[in-house]
């Protein structure tokens, strides 16, 4: 075995092989994959091999689509038999919500590039005459997917990589991984030691054990999953054509033809599922392992599946497979760096690894080799979880995710498992006041307030909280609103080099005077957006940076790893130390002045300024800035003083008509101000120029990371541009991922949207080709299957001159 490789991949399942292949394709063949058994001997060999196109997430759909485009060609490319069956699939809709989801997904299909049709029960039966369509409203027919032999796919990608120069070492367990002073990794194996620049954990259900070798944790749960194979089915024998894979949420099942037999896989619901090895601790000697079957817990679901395809009932059960499957807490795989480590990557946590192996490999390889992937990786980054994701959290979430595999994902739906995990001191009080919370990076954050006890009827369309959110928005625009945003990520950055460090790392210039606040972006060397922060200069050498709650670990890495040797800067994550209350609205100054002696007038405390002041006897950081576009202050007290501050603000605010508001209202208010959102408009796919945010770049301040690439792009011109638009929608608003059309040509994709309650318009953002970006341009956005006309706006629809912010 060689003693050096640029990259070592631990694990030879479909995820490791998919990455190996794509690293080689991208030009890096100095890669060694090390597998403790045979390739595929973890979860991969026993999988059912389906590769669906239909997944409820735009970026994940791109990952699946890559597999479905590559797998049919893989045999020709590598010479390895993969047994690709281009069967297509039909997913069943029984409710209007299912149907709306199909309409939303058809838009995604259009942009991603796979064929999908929504068909009625008659057509379903024409395509698959054996389906019982009782209770069926429609089917989502996807034509470009299928299933394959998982071992064939894995071996083919490994063989293709070997042909391109990669090394595969089998029957060799990685026993330890240590960081060297050189920054490289020393990978100890049963057959010797390898020094590598980068290491990737692709160890499937063993991934948590491998992560622990480098002192990291990995929030995945290993679940059991069954499928059964029936005896031969007479009706299949008489046909040349294979039936499409049927996916039925009611049965929580996939049903397909396996040669002349039937195959049914069941995702039994929460409460009936067994964890195989909770928190990912299978024995190292577990190899090609299957578990005893447990038909009893499958029976209710199997019964429903047989009702859907009655011809399978009489065929009897010939074989039962019960194998291990890893689930992340939120469903998508773990692709990206490990928090706090350089050059240690995750490529695991995939519960649809056969479908995802190729796509995960493609986009992770781009990230590893070029610093960015061409798709938005935010939702796959392992740093989307923090230390709060402990054993009980993960187990609860893993069970939930497993049971929800075939549930229709409804916008806004709050799932209960593992909650609450991180709460501000106000959590109970806000719940008592009707607060409905949503979870971000473990934090419970208020979403809306149910003042009359109503519960949200989740839907793709405007629902019964529409007017409630409108009232919250109007309270902020006309009176004063209060919001607990204690989940913000917060960092204290100090030291003699703090200013020059931040100036070098961010595209914007750091504030020149004490108290100044700027919006700053960290870019990659390619000029793509990595992070967005609000930075306040507290004193000459002390800065306070805020970023999205979900970015706490990522942005900490950007800051810490952005430091050069010799730079005298200290970075402290103070996210848990300080809370945040947002006080916003035209009456906020009057209210706040009742609780502080500090001067709040424009001369003493202008917009985009921060100071340490005392409010209601509590010493805190007050920043005159907000994301809702009104006069107001963000108040950052010590976390343990948040409740006392809230009570004081509420008492003083009653005479001003104070109201609680939540994140639904924030979305409406921010979109009226055309404020971009990190993770939606601002992602690793785009530059600040693409996002029409050149005013946040200071080219003339000297060097900053990403400057050369941004300048190059400025000279060469843009391939796409962010537009802000209003749209003549009827009963639904833009959510992001909808296709944008000029006639029949798809010219772009939306990134986010919502209803602006104050301006009474439906609004959105999207990326289009630059010739459609001129203000006044009209195009169509497909909203739940309907084309609606959108018009590009040239400025924020609300308060374009920032008069309210500066009031």
Query: Which residues fall within 8 angstroms of residue 755, CB to CB, at 6 or more apart?
Result: 462, 466, 668, 733, 761, 762, 763
| Residue 83 beta carbon to ligand FAD: minimum distance, rounded to whole angstroms | 13
In DSSP terms, 438 is beta-bridged to 445
How far is Cα 114 from Cα 127, in angstroms, rounded to an integer? 19
67 vs 379 by CB, closer to ligand FAD: 67
Nearest approach in angstroms of CB 224 to ligand FAD is 7
Nearer to ligand FAD, 160 or 753 (CB): 160
* Least separation in angstroms between CB 172 and ligand FAD: 7
**x/- contact string, 59-78, with ligand FAD (CB under 6 A)?**
--------------------
Q: Please identify, among the stretches 8-16, 20-28, 73-81, 749-757, the one whose residues bind ligand FAD according to the rule CB under 6 A.
A: 8-16
Among 21, 22, 49, 145, binds ligand FAD (CB under 6 A): 49
Query: DSSP secondary structure string, 552-607?
Result: HHHHHHHHHHHPPTT---EEEE-TTTB--EEEESTTHHHHHHTT--S--STTTS-T
Are 569 and 498 contacting, i.e. CB atoms less than 8 angstroms apart? Answer: yes
Q: Which is nearer to ligand FAD, 199 or 324 (CB)?
A: 324
x/- letters, 231..270, toward ligand FAD (CB under 6 A): ----------------------------------x-----
State which residue, 160 or 265, has the beta carbon closest to ligand FAD: 265
Shortest separation between residue 43's beta carbon and ligand FAD, angstroms:
4
Q: Report the residue from 7, 8, 9, 14 that binds ligand FAD according to the rule CB under 6 A.
A: 14
783 binds ligand FAD (CB under 6 A): no
Residue 689 is a binding residue for ligand FAD (CB under 6 A):
no
> Which tokens sit at 597?
């002696």
Binding mask 168-207 for ligand FAD (x = CB under 6 A): -----xx---------------------------xxxxx-
Q: How far is the CB of 334 from ligand FAD (least distance, A)?
A: 10
Residue 17 CB, shortest distance to ligand FAD, in Å, is 7
Sign of CA dihedral 241, 247, 248, 251: positive
Q: Any idea what the Cα angle at residue 290 is, between residues 284 and 294, rounded to 5°?
A: 130
Pick the binder of ligand FAD from 8, 9, 16, 258 (CB under 6 A).
16
Smallest distance, ligand FAD to C-beta of residue 608, A: 47
* Distance, CA of 740 to CA of 769 (rounded, Å): 10
Query: Residues 9, 10, 306, 339: which binds ligand FAD (CB under 6 A)?
Result: 10
Q: Which is nearer to ligand FAD, 136 or 354 (CB)?
A: 354
Interface with ligand FAD, residue 749, by CB under 6 A: no
Q: Among all chains, which residue has been given the structure tokens 């945010």?
A: 693
What minimum distance in Å lies between the beta carbon of 38 and ligand FAD? 8
Stretch that binds ligand FAD, among 7-15, 156-164, 302-310, 635-643 (CB under 6 A): 7-15
CA 4 to mean position of chain CA atoms: 34
Of 82-90, 235-243, 352-360, 401-409, which part binds ligand FAD (CB under 6 A)? 352-360
Least distance to ligand FAD, CB of residue 164, Å: 20
Instruction: Write down the least CB distance from residue 206 to ligand FAD, Å.
Output: 4
Q: DSSP string of 480-510?
A: EEEEE-TTSEEEEEESTTHHHHHHHHBSSPP
**276 forms part of the interface with ligand FAD (CB under 6 A):** no
**CA 619 – CA 714 distance, rounded (Å):** 45
Residue 140 forms beta bridges with which residues? Answer: 91, 118
Radius of gyration of the chain (CA): 27
Identified binder of ligand FAD from the candidate list 7, 9, 12, 504, rule CB under 6 A: 12
Q: Which of 9, 138, 325, 689 binds ligand FAD (CB under 6 A)?
A: 325
The reply on whether position 323 binds ligand FAD by CB under 6 A is yes
Q: Does 142 bind ligand FAD (CB under 6 A)?
A: no
Q: For ligand FAD, how many residues bind (rule: CB under 6 A)?
A: 42
Q: What is the dihedral of CA 136, 140, 144, 147, to 10 degrees?
A: -40
Check residue 687 and report its DSSP letter: B
Contact residues for 608 (Cβ-Cβ < 8 A; gap 6+):
516, 517, 518, 624, 625
> Residue 536 is inside which H or E element, if any?
strand 529-539
Q: Strand locations in 77-235, DSSP E? A: 89-93, 116-119, 138-142, 146-147, 167-169, 174-179, 185-189, 192-201, 220-232
Nearer to ligand FAD, 41 or 660 (CB): 41
- Taking CB under 6 A as the criterion, which residues in 28-47 touch ligand FAD? 34-37, 41-44, 46-47
Tokens of 496: 């003699």
**50 part of the interface to ligand FAD, by CB under 6 A:** yes
Judged by CB under 6 A, the stretch of 297-305, 319-327, 459-467, 743-751 that binds ligand FAD is: 319-327
**Pick 22 or 611: Cβ nearer ligand FAD:** 22
DSSP state of 638: B
What string of DSSP letters covers 313-342?
A: GGG-EEEEEEEEEEEESSSS-EEEEPTT-S
| 3-class DSSP state of 781 | strand
* Residues 105, 106, 110, 113, CA torsion sign: positive
In the complex, least distance from residue 51 CB atom to ligand FAD, rounded to whole angstroms: 6
Q: What does the alpha-carbon distance between residue 675 and residue 205 come to, in Å, rounded to a whole number? A: 41
Among candidate residues 68, 670, 13, 81, the one with its CA nearest the CA of residue 351: 13
Q: Which stretch binds ligand FAD (CB under 6 A): 6-14, 551-559, 633-641, 798-806?
A: 6-14
Give the count of beta carbons closer than 10 Å to the beta carbon of residue 585. Answer: 28
Tell whether residue 321 is a contact of ligand FAD (CB under 6 A). yes
Give the neighbor-by-neighbor strand order of the sheet with 570-573: 517-523, 529-539, 542-547, 489-494, 570-573
Q: Which residues, numbered 374-413, are part of the site for ligand FAD (CB under 6 A)?
A: none
What does the alpha-carbon distance between residue 25 and residue 30 come to, in Å, rounded to a whole number? 12
User: Could you tell me the smallest distance in angstroms from the CB atom of residue 600 to ligand FAD?
Assistant: 56
Vertex 379: Cα angle to 213 and 764 (nearest 5): 165
CB nearer ligand FAD, residue 15 or residue 625: 15
Among 21, 102, 301, 352, binds ligand FAD (CB under 6 A): 352
Instruction: Tell me if 350 contacts ligand FAD by CB under 6 A.
Output: yes
CB of 149 vs ligand FAD, minimal distance in Å: 11
Residues that bind ligand FAD in the complex, under the rule CB under 6 A: 10-16, 34-37, 41-44, 46-50, 173-174, 202-206, 210, 225, 227, 265, 321, 323-325, 348, 350-355
């Amino acid at each position: 075995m060689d003693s050096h490789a640029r990259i070592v991949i631990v694990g030879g399942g479909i995820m490791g092989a998919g990455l190996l292949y794509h690293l080689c394709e991208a030009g890096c063949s100095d890669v060694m994959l090390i597998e403790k058994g045979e390739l595929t001997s973890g979860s991969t060999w026993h999988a059912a091999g389906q590769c669906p196109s239909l997944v409820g997430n735009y970026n994940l759909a791109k990952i699946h689509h890559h597999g479905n485009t590559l797998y049919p060609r893989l045999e020709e490319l590598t010479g390895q038999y993969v047994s690709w069956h281009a069967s297509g699939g039909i997913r069943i809709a029984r409710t209007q919500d299912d149907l709306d989801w199909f309409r939303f997904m058809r838009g995604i299909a259009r942009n991603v590039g796979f064929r999908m049709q929504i068909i009625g029960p008659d057509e379903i039966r024409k395509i698959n005459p054996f389906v019982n369509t009782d209770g069926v409203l429609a089917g989502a027919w996807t034509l470009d997917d299928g299933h394959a032999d998982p071992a064939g796919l894995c071996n083919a990608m490994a063989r293709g990589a070997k042909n391109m120069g990669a090394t595969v070492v089998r029957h060799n367990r990685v026993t330890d991984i240590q960081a060297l002073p050189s920054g490289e990794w020393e990978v100890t194996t049963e057959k010797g030691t390898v020094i590598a620049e980068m290491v990737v954990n692709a160890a499937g259900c063993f991934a948590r054990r491998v992560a622990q070798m480098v002192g990291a944790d990995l929030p995945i749960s290993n679940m059991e999953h069954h499928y059964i194979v029936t005896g031969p089915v007479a009706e299949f024998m008489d046909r040349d054509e294979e039936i499409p894979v049927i996916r039925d949420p009611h049965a929580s099942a996939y049903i397909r033809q396996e040669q002349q037999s039937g195959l049914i896989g069941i995702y039994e619901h929460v409460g009936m599922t067994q964890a195989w090895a909770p928190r990912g601790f299978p024995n190292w000697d577990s190899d090609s392992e299957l578990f005893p079957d447990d038909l009893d817990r499958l029976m209710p679901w199997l019964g429903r599946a047989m009702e859907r395809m009655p011809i399978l009932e009489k065929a009897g059960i010939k074989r039962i497979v019960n194998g291990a499957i890893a689930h992340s807490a939120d469903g998508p795989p773990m692709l990206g760096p490990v928090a706090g480590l350089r050059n240690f990557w995750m490529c695991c946590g995939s519960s649809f690894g056969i479908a995802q192996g190729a796509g995960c490999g493609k986009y992770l390889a781009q990230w590893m080799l070029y610093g960015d992937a061409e798709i938005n990786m935010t939702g796959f980054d392992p740093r989307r979880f923090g230390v709060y994701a402990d054993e009980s959290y993960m187990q609860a979430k893993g069970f939930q995710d497993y049971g929800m595999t075939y549930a229709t994902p409804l916008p806004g739906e709050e799932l209960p498992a593992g909650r609450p995990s991180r709460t501000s001191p106000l959590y109970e009080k806000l719940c008592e006041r009707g607060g409905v919370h949503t979870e971000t990076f473990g934090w419970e954050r208020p979403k809306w307030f149910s003042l009359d006890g109503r519960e949200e009827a989740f839907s793709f369309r405007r629902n019964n909280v529409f007017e409630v959110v409108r009232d919250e928005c109007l309270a902020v625009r006309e009176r004063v609103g209060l919001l607990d945003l204690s989940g913000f990520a917060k960092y204290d950055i100090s030291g003699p080099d703090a200013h020059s460090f931040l100036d070098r790392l961010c595209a914007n210039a750091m504030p020149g005077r004490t108290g100044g606040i700027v919006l700053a972006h960290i870019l990659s060397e390619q000029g793509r957006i990595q992070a967005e922060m609000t930075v306040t200069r507290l004193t000459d050498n002390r800065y306070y940076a805020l970023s999205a709650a979900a970015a706490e670990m990522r942005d900490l890495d950007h800051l810490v790893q952005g430091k050069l040797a010799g730079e005298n800067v200290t970075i402290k994550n103070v996210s848990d130390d300080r809370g945040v209350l947002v006080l916003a609205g035209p009456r906020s100054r009057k209210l706040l002045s009742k609780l502080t002696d500090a001067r709040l007038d424009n001369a003493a405390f202008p917009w985009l300024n921060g100071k340490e002041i005392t409010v209601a006897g509590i010493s805190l950081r007050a920043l005159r800035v907000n994301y809702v576009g009104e006069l107001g202050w963000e108040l950052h007290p010590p976390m343990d003083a948040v409740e006392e501050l809230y009570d004081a603000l509420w008492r003083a605010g009653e005479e001003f008509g104070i109201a609680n508001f939540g994140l639904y209202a924030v979305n409406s208010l921010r979109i009226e101000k055309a404020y971009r959102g990190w993770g939606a408009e601002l992602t690793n796919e785009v530059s600040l120029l693409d996002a029409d945010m050149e005013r946040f770049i200071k080219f003339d301040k000297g060097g900053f990371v990403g400057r050369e690439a941004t300048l190059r792009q400025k000279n060469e011109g843009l391939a796409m541009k962010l537009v802000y638009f209003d749209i003549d929608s009827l009963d639904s608003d833009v959510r992001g991922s909808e296709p944008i059309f000029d006639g029949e040509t798809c010219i772009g994709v939306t990134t986010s949207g919502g209803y602006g309650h104050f301006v009474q318009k439906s609004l959105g953002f999207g990326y289009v080709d630059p010739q459609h970006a001129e203000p006044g341009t009209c195009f169509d956005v497909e909203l739940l299957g309907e084309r609606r006309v959108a018009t590009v706006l040239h400025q924020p629809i609300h308060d374009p001159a920032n008069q309210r912010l500066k009031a």
